[in-house]
Amino acid sequence: MNTSHDNGRGGDDWEGVVTGLSRGMLDGSNMYHFVEVRLADGACLKVRIGRRLWKSLKTGDRVAKRAGADPAKA
51 DSSP 8-state letter: H
Instruction: Specify the pTM.
Output: 0.80
Residue 52's SS3 state is helix
Give the whole-angstrom CA distance, residue 29 versus residue 66. Answer: 30
pLDDT at 26: 87
Residue 9 above 80 pLDDT? Answer: no
* For residues 24-53, average pLDDT: 94
Instruction: Tell me the average pLDDT across 25-49.
Output: 94
The Cα–Cα gap between 55 and 17 comes to 16
